[in-house]
Every structure is written in structure tokens, then in C-alpha cells.
């Protein structure tokens, strides 16, 4: 299993659009959940934070195997998700990548 946490800088003039993006994903929860299977995502959570005056979106994921590239998907939810990404994420800013040190889960009885 691969567990990741990454943060991506949002263009300063696109923060409202980033909030719109997160609302779009919440509003379409069932459709988003259906896209997780082909990506082998067991869990995906999104967070936001302001660091050093810059707004970031963070993705936490648990993936069981390499999955379909979301940018190559033709699913309407993924297409809209990628469009929001392209409009909001400032890829000139290196992503914040976190190193997993420990992961704990309760034993299954």
C-alpha cells in the first residue's frame, strides 16, 4: 500500500475557484467515490491550509496499487477535476511532500 500526503500551491487569484472545486467534489460525492476504484484508491482526503501567506490544497491518499492516471480519464467527474486543477494549482511552486514515518491501524479481530 502507498500512503501519501502532498500539498499544492493555489494561484493567489484562484482561491475562490479552489473553494468552488472543493464544493464541486463534495456535491458530487457519489460520482467521485466511483472514480476511486480504477485509481486503486482505498481512501482519499483533501485538506486546505495557508502557509507563509500562500493557500494550499493537500491530498492524503491510501492506494493499494498503481492506478489509472486521472488526467487520462474520460469520466466527466475526472475531466472537471483536471480542469479545476489546471485553473487553480500553480505548478511553478514545488509541491509540499511529506514522508510517512509511521502508520498505525487497529488489529482486525
CB atoms within 10 A of CB 76: 11
Integer-rounded Cα radius of gyration of the chain: 15
Convert the pLDDT of each residue in 65-93 to its tens digit.
987 788 888 899 999 999 999 999 999 99
What nine digits make up the cell of 41? 484508491
Convert the pLDDT of each residue in 2-51 to its tens digit.
999 999 999 999 999 999 999 999 999 999 999 998 889 999 999 999 99
- Considering only CA atoms, which of 2, 95, 4 is closest in space to residue 45? 4
pLDDT given for residue 42 in this prediction: 92
Tell me the average pLDDT across 85-106: 96
CB atoms within 10 A of CB 29: 9
Cα distance between the two ends of the chain: 21
CA–CA separation, 26 and 3 (whole Å):
22
pLDDT given for residue 18 in this prediction: 98
Amino acid at each position: 500500500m502507498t500512503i501519501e500526503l502532498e500539498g499544492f500551491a493555489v494561484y493567489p487569484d484562484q482561491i475562490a475557484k479552489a473553494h468552488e472545486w472543493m464544493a464541486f467534489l463534495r456535491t458530487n460525492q457519489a460520482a467521485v467515490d466511483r472514480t476511486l476504484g480504477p485509481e486503486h484508491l482505498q481512501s482519499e482526503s483533501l485538506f486546505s491550509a495557508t502557509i507563509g501567506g500562500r493557500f494550499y490544497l493537500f491530498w492524503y491518499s491510501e492506494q493499494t496499487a498503481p492506478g489509472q492516471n486521472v488526467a487520462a480519464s474520460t469520466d466527466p467527474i475526472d475531466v472537471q477535476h483536471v480542469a479545476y486543477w489546471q485553473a487553480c494549482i500553480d505548478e511553478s511552486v514545488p509541491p509540499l511532500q511529506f514522508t510517512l514515518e509511521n502508520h498505525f491501524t487497529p488489529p482486525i479481530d
